[in-house]
Amino acid sequence: MRTGAILATLLIITGSLAGCFQEDVPVAPPVEEEAPTGVFVTGPDGLPVNVPAIPMTFQFSDVGETGPEPSIGITSSGCVFFIAMEKVMRSCDYGASWVNSADIASAPSTSDPYGWVDPITDRIFNVQMVGLATTWIAFSDDDGETWVGNPHDSGPVPLNDHIKLGSGPWTDDGYGVPGQMSPAYEEAVYFCYNKLAGIFCYTSFDGGASFDIGGQIYGLATTNGGLHGAITTAPDGTVYVTPRVATPTVILSKDNGFSWETRTMGEDVNTPNPRKNTEVGTDTESNAYHIWTGADSGVYMSRSTDSGDSWEQESIRISPVEVISSTFPQIDAGDPGRIAITYLGSEDSDALGQPGLDGGEWGGNPHYATANVSYYLYVTYSLNALDENPVFHTYRVSTDPVQIGAICLNSGDCRDIGGSNRNLLDFNDLHIDRDGRVYVAFADGCTGDCATMEDPQPEDSRSRLGSVYYLATGPSLYVGQPELEALL
């Protein structure tokens, strides 16, 4: 990615029919304009549909620090927080500049970071895993000017990993029954991690200062069943956690973590192994959208309109068929049917069938990608995602590759190609602000000479620069908002 602010402007140009219209001369039908390179308008099967693309532009920002496994959140003041490894980076001028938000009282080292901004209270959480035994959770209520840090003992070894934190409304059942636990914080705060035995989740009643209630919610169903994606909450208080298993699955709680249930979907497309986690987005009416990477390495979705009780079993393809490989899908939603998804993807179809890193013919799994595969950052919008035949508007946002060659998706099974191909680690992030503007956090593996040379190789693509794209102009994910205009 080029440093500084870059406008990745991708506009649909509408043509007009020229000529004279005479009574005895037939009028030629209008010519259908093809979308510009890197722009796709598709239906629920990933195939093109004859619908004009939504005009959108995206603004790039270089965070200036190492950024694998980034989290992003935006407070009501407009300050953006980018959290990866030890530093909490803050920008209050729309990405024009970034600073370390504070000398926070945090642990001296970390092996797994996570960040969360509570959209109701504006509390910013910085979660850091210390070694394999303890997690340090710090939070700020003044846009990162001051922080309170508390270690949370996430249990003895062996292995605590994939730490995640989220927050959402109290319910009227279970832990949320009024007066039962006398919550001292407006929102329920959830903390999850994995151990070798499975997934463990806890509920905090004091805004993340302590987590005394909870336990194991999911067993080790497969080799990677103990790993999980982000915590998502809906306005009605439903909480979702996604395990890393062969059949797309969500674990949900409707009583603030007192009890958990499991729902499956997507058996028609399955998920590849190894691959990374799935995620759920929820809209203002508590409809839920579960996305994952399918066995063909496309991005798929299942929807629930009853707060997660039931899910469509026939999967919807979000990514266009031209994107033959993808990973790190993330989602957020605004009003019903208005969603945005980001992922890393490749259109290098010529590489399919070539020898992959596993010794067989490469079929699109990034973990085994060949050296001639380039991954870019994509953003997909839908403004009618609840319709029978939703339309997806996909933009290849990055102007140069994010990664060349393989992206290691399993920490215990990486292949070295001129350096570790696990430089991007496990996930990216996407969230919207109070205006419905989309922000994407990612680690850029192809910087400097790699971003400009004619034929970059995997060994040139081992950076991990903290990077952000956000919607500069285009539609809000909230119906009541006007068309969004550039912030800079």
Nearest to 324 by CA among 301, 342, 341, 344: 344
* Mean pLDDT score across all residues of the chain: 86
| pLDDT classification of 30: cutoffs 50, 70, 90 | very low
Residue pair 275/327 in contact by the 8 Å Cβ criterion: yes
User: Do 55 and 471 contact (CB within 8 A), yes or no?
Assistant: no
Distances (CA, A) of 70 to 8, 100, 116, 422: 21, 15, 11, 14
Q: What is the pLDDT of residues 112-138, one digit of tens each?
A: 789 999 999 999 998 887 766 678 888
In order of 14, 16, 27, 31, 165, the CA distances from 20 in angstroms are 19, 13, 9, 16, 64
Instruction: Write the pLDDT tens digit of every residue in 289-331.
Output: 999 999 999 999 999 999 999 999 999 999 999 999 999 999 9
CA 359 centroid distance within chain = 30
Q: Kindly report the backbone phi and psi dihedral angles of residue 19, in degrees, each rounded to the nearest multiple of 5, phi listed first.
A: 130, 170
For residue 412, is pLDDT > 60?
yes
Q: Is 128 exposed, middle or buried (0-12, 13-18, 19+ CB in 10 A)?
A: buried
Please count the other Cβ atoms lying within 10 Å of the Cβ belonging to residue 414: 18
CA 483 – CA 196 distance, rounded (Å): 47
Spatial neighbors of 108 by CB under 8 A, at least 6 apart, are: none
Q: What is the CA radius of gyration of the chain?
A: 22
Among the listed residues 40, 41, 43, the one whose alpha carbon sits nearest the alpha carbon of residue 317: 43
pTM: 0.91
CB 281 within 8 A of CB 263: no
Residue-level pLDDT at 7? 41
